[in-house]
Amino acid sequence: MSDKKKRKRQYTPRKGYSKEQYRRDTMQAYGVLTGIAVALVFVLIYFMFIHKPSADAKQAADVPQTVTVKKVIAGESVSEVSASDENGSSTSEPQDSSSAVTTTVTQAGNETAKPTEKAQEAAGHKLEVKNGITYVDGIMIVNKTYSLPADYAPGLDPTAEAAFNEMASQAWSEGVSLFICSGFRTYREQDMLYRNYSSQRGTDEADRVSSRPGHSEHQSGLCMDINTTEFDFAGTKEAIWLANHCADYGFIIRFPLGKESITGYAYEPWHIRYVGKKAAKEITDQDLCLEEYLGVTSDYKNSSDQNG
């Protein structure tokens, strides 16, 4: 900046406004500014070190609790002790809560719903996977969540077949005719059936009444469609007899009326599943479906195979 310009900008007192007066006014202005600055520093210190979190901040501090519960449900060796630890620290040390919130929320964001829901499976039950087949409390589970390997092809289970024959002969003696309409199906057969359904009726409807390959119980060899797969089987004397007596032979009506949201399938009065007499009695007496009995879901979203 040139001297000329500097001089131009220099203060020229108005008439009657002395240089001394100007100096005092300037000092006063500086004083006020300093005062404001000091006040700001105090406010800053107050919020950084002294201030307790407000209701909003407390609400934010609750976030890790929810996340922790999720983690515990996820069951990835996160114990309940660590959960209470985290809750404790977020309440007793509020100044740390903001950073805790940020990191934990990030974790929650990374957690997809899939492993969380999956880990809720069979809580309080014994879940085992042998050769790609899932057993809960020793009962093989095949549904929308749990599938069978494509090469699993045991044929109709001999125990289930013997139980059916015993049941059918008793029914026959009471004037009721029961026969197996469809028993064991291979992965490939199911694949073709499902493709047929979904091309004719769309995926949503196909998923209500049919199974994607690997997810059909018919591939387990433990279930059978009795007499028909037409809905007008419901209410016939055969359907009524079957519903009333199949548990005595170790079978359950696998997809009961009113349980579609749990089993994932529409009511099928003809589809029976062999689970053994003890489980069949308990399931039937308590009016449960197999998913409720074993504490598992039936949802392709929770499935880990490529068809789910």
Binding site for Zn ion (CB under 5 A): 225, 271
Which residue's Cβ lies closest to Zn ion? 271
Structure tokens belonging to residue 18: 């002395």
Cβ proximity to Zn ion, 62 vs 189, nearer residue: 189
DSSP three-state, residue 130:
strand
CA 160/CA 162 separation, integer angstroms: 5
Angstrom distance (rounded) from CA 240 to CA 262? 23
d(C-alpha 276, C-alpha 247), whole Å: 8
166-179 CB burial, b ≥16 within 10 A, e <16 = ebbeebeeeebebe
The residue annotated as part of the active site, out of 268, 282, 291, 292, is 268
163 is written with which tokens? 């139980």
Please say if 268 is a catalytic residue: yes
Q: Strands 139-140, 133-136: parallel, antiparallel or unpaired by DSSP?
A: antiparallel
Compare residues 67 and 226 and give the one whose CB is closer to Zn ion: 226
* Structure-token pair, residue 123: 């809580």
Measured from the CB atom, is 101 or 272 closer to Zn ion?
272
Residues 6+ apart with CB under 8 A from 274: 157, 159, 160, 163, 164, 222, 223, 250, 251
Tally of residues, the chain: 308
Closest-CA residue to 248 (of 276, 220, 223): 276
Alpha helices in the chain (DSSP H): 3-9, 19-45, 55-74, 80-92, 94-110, 113-119, 158-173, 187-201, 203-209, 237-245, 260-263, 277-285, 290-294
Quick one: 100 or 178, whose CB is closer to Zn ion? 178
Q: Measured from the CB atom, is 97 or 265 closer to Zn ion? A: 265
d(CA 95, CA 299): 42
Residue closer to Zn ion, measured from CB, 121 or 217: 217
What is the Cα–Cα distance from 183 to 84, expressed in whole angstroms? 51
Rounded CA separation 104/109 (Å): 9
Task: Compare residues 144 and 271 and give the one whose CB is closer to Zn ion.
Answer: 271
Catalytic residues: 268
